Copies of this chain bind each other. A is one copy, B any other.
Amino acid sequence: MAEKLYDVVGIGNAIVDIIARCDDGFLSKHDLAKGFMRLIDAEEAARLYEAMGPASERSGGSVANSIAGLASFGAKCGFIGRVAADQFGGIFRHDIRSLGVAYDTPPAPDGAPTARCLILVTPDGERTMNTFLGASVDFTPEDVDSGLIEAARIVYLEGYLFDRDHAKAAFREAARLAKRAGAKVALSLSDAFCVDRHRADFLTLVKEGADIVFANEKEITTLYQVNSFEEAADRALADCELAVLTRSETGSVIVTEGETLVVPAERLSEVVDVTGAGDLYAAGFLYGLTQGAPLSTCGRIGSLAAAEVVSHIGARPETSLRKLAAGLIP
């Protein structure tokens, strides 16, 4: 790839996570489907928060977590995403900037508060997410900082953000700018429900906008409305250059022209909180790509980063990923 100022620039929801432990009974009582993400409004967010136990707050957001991971590897990164001018917005801005990430999206001057995700972590380490998108939904094509996009080697787009029309328009604009500047466009499908809600638009984006697609098994089979993983993988290969498909503890499958690689997951002694596992897998994979590592190594770096993040509460790394992956990076 050409010499550019940023290895990866991400576009996604700018969210603060509110994380509390709960038991399975709490999920049933509040009709929450374990392991999924659902969108909630301000009223439901207030109601659920009141019912939750004591929590801790920290920055989140799927692609923002990936960008934090990439920064921890030592990559040069930028992020684009909307917060409000409130205390949670201050947390988000501080945390991402403190990693050396370029983040200059102006806070929304009025309207909804900064997005938050109420994350319930059950004793099995599974997370159930309830997202109030708040100021994140105000994301429009005007927020797409063309200077940042043009300075990126890879532009990474978050499927979760793809839930509103003006955000979709912003994605198309970002993809267009990226292609024109010779950047690769990577897309995370993020969530099977979101894919299901916006299948046609996702298909168009995968076919026309994205070079690299990240998805888990459920998301990719939902996108193509097929029953088998293998069939979905074939379809993905026909639509894009590189599909990186994660299968939880089974590991990941990397599909590209003429090659299908299976990468085992890291063995874990304990899973404390799976929040951010996919985001950090993507971080490691993309970091490998920017370093010119072979695809199998990219997958192994991804697995390593995912293993770090599930070993503690919270969706961002707590140790230097650069040190952790030292042996794998060329």
Contact = CB atoms under 8 A, between A and B. Distances in A.
Given A86-B87, A87-B87, A88-B87, A94 B55 contact: yes
Main DSSP-derived SS at the A contact region: mixed
B58 A95 contact: no
Given A49-B94, A87-B88, A88-B87, A58 B59 contact: no
20 contacts: A21-B318, A49-B94, A50-B94, A50-B98, A52-B94, A52-B98, A54-B59, A54-B94, A54-B99, A54-B316, A55-B94, A55-B95, A56-B56, A56-B57, A56-B314, A57-B91, A86-B86, A86-B87, A87-B88, A87-B113
Interface string A51-86: 011111111000000001000000000000000001
A320 B295 CA distance: 45
A56 B314 CA distance: 9
B98 A53 contact: yes
Interface residues on A, range: 20 to 34
Interface in A28-64: 49-50, 52-59
A275 B86 CA distance: 27
A50 B68 CA distance: 17
Q: Which of A50, A52, A54, A58 has the most CB of B within 10 A?
A: A54
Given A49-B94, A87-B87, A87-B88, A57 B54 contact: no
Contacts of A87: 86-88, 113
A54 B314 CA distance: 12
Interface in A87-101: 87-88, 91, 94-96, 98-99
A113 to B, nearest CB: 7
Nearest to A314: B56
A193 to B, nearest CB: 27
A120 to B, nearest CB: 13
Contacts of A86: 86-87
Contacts of A54: 58-59, 68, 94-96, 98-99, 316
Contacts of A53: 98-99
A-B pairs with lowest CB-CB distance, top 10: A87-B87, A57-B57, A56-B58, A54-B95, A53-B98, A54-B98, A56-B56, A87-B88, A86-B87, A54-B99
A88 B91 CA distance: 11
Nearest to A317: B54
A43 to B, nearest CB: 15
Given A87-B86, A87-B88, A87-B113, A55 B56 contact: no
A21 B95 CA distance: 12
